[in-house]
Amino acid sequence: MTAPDPAAEGRRRADELLTLLAGDPPAAERLLAGLTEVRELVFLGAGLTSTARAEARRLPPAQRAQANTRQERLGLLRDANASDPAGLRTWLLRSAEEILLIRSQQAVADRVIAADQAWTATRAAAEASGSAAASSTATDT
């Protein structure tokens, strides 16, 4: 029997943790409590980090910069707890919460973009039909 790929297992656990945290936070904490080896925790963290970085790239520039700063701080937390499973669990929980924050920021950005596109389409249709207000750039002097 072939041993499971630790990186793939870490990504799978990262997805599971995110799903649980979004719907059943106590279950997410139980999942983390069941992981006792530093190696397991680190591979789970690698899965969360890759997800966070990939999803943060799609944010608008200001939110992306803020997410990058938060990722750096999470890295410091990870490094400070490199051999402490309890500390690594705290890092993992905060990393998962960061991904949920990134997703909520992306949802807001998507709604703003959709509203802007709808407004632009409405404005263009009004101008095309001649119902838009006349330009006020010309003035008598």
Please give the model's pTM, rounded to 2 decimal places: 0.80
Higher pLDDT, 42 or 118: 42
Mind listing the pLDDT tens digit for each residue in 14-28? Answer: 999 999 999 999 999
Please indicate, yes or no, if residue 130 is contained in any of the structural domains: no
- At what angle are helices 38-56 and 85-129 packed, to 10 degrees? 10
Quick check: is 39 in a domain? yes
Structure tokens at 134: 């006349």
DSSP 49-75: HHHHHHHHTTS-HHHHHHHHHHHHHHH
Number of domains in the chain: 1
Query: Is position 131 within any domain?
Result: no
Please check whether residue 37 lies inside any domain of the structure. Answer: yes
pLDDT digits (tens, 9 = 90+) for 88-135: 999 999 999 999 999 999 999 889 988 888 899 888 888 888 865 544
Residue 90 lies in a domain: yes
Q: By residue range, what is the domain housing residue 37?
A: 6-123
Is 141 part of any domain?
no
Signed CA dihedral, 72, 76, 82, 88: sign only: negative
Q: Is residue 140 part of a domain?
A: no
